[in-house]
Amino acid sequence: MESIVVNTEIAIFGAGAWGTALGIHLANNGHPTTLWSHRSADIPDIVRTKINQRYLPDIRFPDNLDVTDCLEKVAAIPNWLLAIPSHAFTEVFTQAWRFGAQPKHILWATKGLCSKSGSLLHQVVQQIVGQVQPVALLSGPSFAREVALGMPTAVTIAASDGAESDFWASCFACKTFNVYTSKDIIGVQVGGAVKNIIALAAGMSDGLGYGANARCALITRGLAEISALATTLGADLQTSLGLSGVGDLILTCTDNQSRNRRCGYRLGQGETYTEIQQSIGQVIEGVSAVEQVSQLAQALKLNMPITQMLMMILKGQKTPAAAFNDFFAQDPMPE
């Protein structure tokens, strides 16, 4: 289908790979779009070449996609899309909100929890904007480069207000970008955050040379952990079986475009996280999510063995090989 809402001005906070890809897509869909970047030094080259060489090399910007480092300028645009790492989400959102622009529509495409409190991001947003303001989020199996290239993609947009999800779906939908809507704002967020943890585990298993059987076992049991956490928090089980759950989980665990999978693979091969982080050069959301989700699981008295195993590895309490050997040597248990 063609986009229903046309010429809708949109501000995107975050000019990393994901924010840039969404900006290219929305601009190609007929919406004047402005990217906000905290990297002021990169902006002259982006403006000159119409390419974000750091994150999406060789993919040109449409003419109606601009970039700026002026937060006040983008905050004045009535439709906000946040595509910033979870550790910076609260700070950037709060700063933008303080300009007093009060946007009409708010959507985020960040997959993770609040770095300080471990809260779901809709709780962070509602604390700042209040319960009356409708908000939405986008998640699902979607690599940035493929979206920017216009390759077929399907995502979920969730909002408690159906009119809000419909607005954003109309902005994004086109012949190559299929949008499903949901009211399960909790389930969609949990899937997007926890799948990064499972991708670390799947990559680590492959780095250890454990093969396809082990990888598929981790994906399947990882889905059980996503479902258990989501439903305990009040989500619908069916959401975990959709695009934002099993769809995103399979994508992130099986393709090396995933930073989380690549990080896990290299940890399994003996590299340190510091070495990997410096090499990849972008945030690896799954690493911070491990501690946040582990603490949340403990508070809820939930058993999440894969998350707990990774917590021990990242804290240096076990080597990857020892932790995975213990995991697969568990006593028989009901599925």
User: Tell me, what CATH number does 104's domain have?
Assistant: 3.40.50.720
Average pLDDT, the chain: 94
pLDDT category of residue 26 using cuts at 50, 70 and 90: very high
Alpha carbon dihedral 83, 283, 286, 183, in 10-degree steps, equals: 0
Q: Is 158 found in the same domain as 28?
A: yes
Identify the H or E element spanning 158: strand 153-158
In a domain, 103, yes or no: yes
Other CB atoms closer than 10 Å to residue 296's CB: what's the count? 23
Cross-strand bridge partners of residue 11: 34, 80
Q: Is 190 found in the same domain as 170?
A: no
Q: Is 309 found in the same domain as 190?
A: yes
Mean pLDDT of 292-304: 95
The DSSP annotation for 160-187 comes to SSHHHHHHHHHHH-BTTEEEEEES-HHH
pLDDT for the residue 5 = 55
Residue 310 CB-half CA count within 13 A: 33
In a domain, 333, yes or no: no
pLDDT top residue among 194 and 331? 194
pLDDT for the residue 3 = 41
Q: Is 217 found in the same domain as 73?
A: no
Give the whole-angstrom CA distance, residue 35 versus residue 280. 23
Boundary-marking domain end, from 154, 183, 212: 183
CB-based contact 35:66 (threshold 8 Å): yes
The domain tally of the chain equals 2
Which range is most confident: 21-30, 112-121, 324-333?
21-30
**Helical H segments across the chain, by residue range:** 17-28, 43-49, 71-75, 86-97, 121-129, 144-148, 162-172, 185-207, 211-232, 237-240, 248-254, 259-268, 273-280, 285-300, 305-314, 320-328
Q: Is 212 found in the same domain as 150?
A: no
Q: Is 159 found in the same domain as 247?
A: no
Determine how β-strand 33-36 pairs with β-strand 10-13.
parallel
Domain containing residue 238: CATH number: 1.10.1040.10
Residues labelled as active-site residues: 195
Q: Is 234 found in the same domain as 124?
A: no
CB-based contact 64:88 (threshold 8 Å): no
Boundary-marking domain end, from 183, 199, 232: 183
Give the whole-angstrom CA distance, residue 148 versus residue 17. 9
pLDDT of 312 above 80: yes
CB-based contact 15:43 (threshold 8 Å): no
pLDDT of 334 above 90: no
Boundary-marking domain end, from 158, 183, 208: 183
Per the structure, the complete domain to which residue 285 belongs is given by: 186-328
pLDDT category of residue 289 using cuts at 50, 70 and 90: very high
Give the whole-angstrom CA distance, residue 72 versus residue 182. 31
pLDDT for the residue 6 = 64
Q: Is 285 found in the same domain as 227?
A: yes
Other CB atoms closer than 10 Å to residue 281's CB: what's the count? 9
pLDDT for the residue 115 = 81
Mean pLDDT of 68-80: 96
Give the whole-angstrom CA distance, residue 326 versus residue 333. 15
Identify the H or E element spanning 12: strand 10-13
SS3 119: coil
In a domain, 92, yes or no: yes
What percentage of the chain carries pLDDT values higher than 70? 98
pLDDT of 2 above 50: no
pLDDT for the residue 276 = 93
pLDDT of 333 above 90: no
pLDDT category of residue 253 using cuts at 50, 70 and 90: very high
SS3 13: strand
CB-based contact 154:220 (threshold 8 Å): no
Q: Is 119 found in the same domain as 16?
A: yes
Give the whole-angstrom CA distance, residue 125 versus residue 127. 5
Give Dmax (Cα) for the chain: 61
Distances (CA, A) of 41 to 6, 52, 61, 114: 32, 12, 18, 28
